[in-house]
Structure 1
Amino acid sequence: MATKISWTDDTWNPVTGCTKHSAGCDNCYAERMAPRLRGMANQNGKYRNGFEVTCHPEVLSKPQRSHVRRMFVNSMSDLFHKDVSLSFITQVFEVMGQVPAITFQILTKRAERLVELAPQLTWHPNVWMGVTIEADDYAFRADLLKQTAAAVKFVSLEPLLGPLPSLDVAGLDWVIVGGETGPGARPMLEPWVLDIRDRVVSAGTPFFFKQWGGRNNKALGTNLQGRTWHQFPRQLT
């Protein structure tokens, strides 16, 4: 699936569907998209189950036919959802290891299951592991992420719903910030973003500001105090 996500080149969805897990899920874009995708003939029934968690072994070979540099894994799901078996997760990791030319970017809100399964997975150098943190109550997800052996550990603070004073940026390789988009989008305040940016920059960590958000994603733009922040970890610039 082609993507407009500014920090990746393409998406790969060996799993589709999810269930709400925390506050950031309230206006889930993937849940909104699923009914439309279900009705599209060119999806070949991939969304036949709507937004129920469904594994798709038939698409595991996609990366081997791709020539992109960066690939976001499961933009329409969460690889560490409880309904995705360890066996299938292992298959996904095996495929990623077979295509070292592609950097795979994984995000999860289910950091507890991530840290539980992490010792049983092979952490290839081209696999970047991230957690989503939308509010300070979930800052602990970064601490769990740091316990994994991922080569690059990153956080996506999107949708950012409040300040994150408890977030410890030490030990992180990349920090992404973005406001919520689409119907019902909740506002993101500049002081929250500036506090995070200043701490991240002081730590020498790459900072990526994705967008301000809003119902019309493009209306408020992507600049922060007059400049664009699109920094990447040194492994991929």
Structure 2
Amino acid sequence: MATRTAIEWTEVTWNPSTGCDRISAGCDNCYALTLAKRLKAMGAAKYQNDGDPRTSGPGFQLTVHPSALRQPYNWTTPSTVFVNSMSDLFHARVPTDFVRDVFAVIADTPQHTYQILTKRSSRLRKIADRLDWPRNLWMGVSVEDSASLQRVEDLRAVPAAVRFLSCEPLLGPLNEVDLEGIGWVIAGGESGPRFRPVAPEWVAGLRERCLAAEVPFFFKQWGGRTPKQGGRLLDGRTWDQMPSHTPAATA
């Protein structure tokens, strides 16, 4: 059975690898790091390898799970699938052959739409030409502030059917972001006990850039101590725009 998720812009999660390391400001309050610690304490088999405490934590060492590659073949309902909600497929310690294996599963299950998100855009760009890109794969990068704008340039060089940005947690204005070649933008504030507030003008500014470029815009949350504390309304309405590209549309 697929793992259902409360993430508003997807439906199920699939984690062929788990674990990660902090590499930028967006990682400072990583929800996956906290969840991995809890899953380790509960005895979950995937989360028994401890990462370096300086950059990772309990249950969060980068680990690949070849046995998980078969899971999507068992899902009978076509779904939107977030790949590696608990990891980064383009982490340096994920073998390129394993990335190819994940892509092969995606190509083999065209009834599903897969979303992959990375902060390691330089490796993504480096190995992109060694991968076969399925039409049902959306590729995204995290862009939390202006210091991470290079990830957008790396993403633009990748031949994905849909390229998207996840600007969450949004930690500063993105007034210089270039949306050429980008098919979707997600934005949101941070949640949790140490959340960093998001300024309304950062969100509104990003939305205006999306509207001007005719790029679908999805506003996930204002954030706060809990994900729902600030709600999802921006200027009195929700913004739930999604890319029109689906596997069926290009079959």
Q: How would you bin the TM-score normalised by the shorter chain?
A: over 0.9
- Which of 157, 171, 177 is equivalent to 2:181? 171
Q: Find the partner of 1:57 among 63, 66, 73.
A: 66
Tell whether the 8 Å contact from 1:104 to 1:126 is kept in structure 2 after alignment: yes
Match for residue 77 of structure 1? 87
CA offset digits 1:169-206 (Å, max 9, x no partner): 12110000011111201000100011110110111110
Matches of 2:71 and 2:176, distance apart in 1: 39
After superposition, residues 1-237 of structure 1 pair within 5 angstroms as 1-41=3-43, 43=44, 45-49=45-49, 50-66=59-75, 67-236=77-246
Give the distance between the partners of 2:208 and 2:6, measured in 1 at CA: 27
Shift of 1:40: 2.6
Runs of 4+ in 1 over 2 A off after TM superposition: none
Offset of residue 53 of structure 1: 0.3
SS of residue matched to 1:156: strand
Paired letter, 1:102: H
Distance 1:16 1:175 in 2: 25
Deviations, residues 40-89 of structure 1 (Å, cap 9, x unaligned): 35x3x111111000000111111111124200000000000001010111
Residues of 1 paired with 2:13 and 2:226: CA distance? 22
The answer to whether the 8 Å contact 1:71/1:103 transfers is: yes
Shift of 1:155: 0.3
Residue number in structure 1 paired with 2:55: none
For residues 221 and 144 of structure 1, what CA distance do their matches in structure 2 show? Answer: 32
Q: Deviations over 1:125-158 (max 9, x none)?
A: 0000000000101111111101010010000000
| 1:14–1:55 contact (8 Å) kept in structure 2 | yes
Give the TM-score normalised by structure 2. 0.91
Alpha-carbon displacement from aligned partner over 1:188-227 (angstroms, at most 9, x marks no partner): 0100011110110111110000000111221110110100
CA distance in structure 1 between the aligned counterparts of 2:91 and 2:10, rounded to whole angstroms: 22
Tell me the secondary structure at the aligned position of residue 47 of structure 2.
coil
SS in 1 for 2:92: coil
Question: What are structure 2's unaligned runs of at least 5 residues?
Answer: 50-58
Looking at structure 1, the residues matched to 243 and 206 of structure 2 have their Cα atoms a distance apart, in angstroms, of 17
Distance, in Å, in 2 between the alignment partners of 1:74 and 1:139 is 22
Percent sequence identity is: 50
In structure 1, the gaps of 5 or more residues are: none
| In 2: Cα distance, 1:90 partner to 1:183 partner | 38
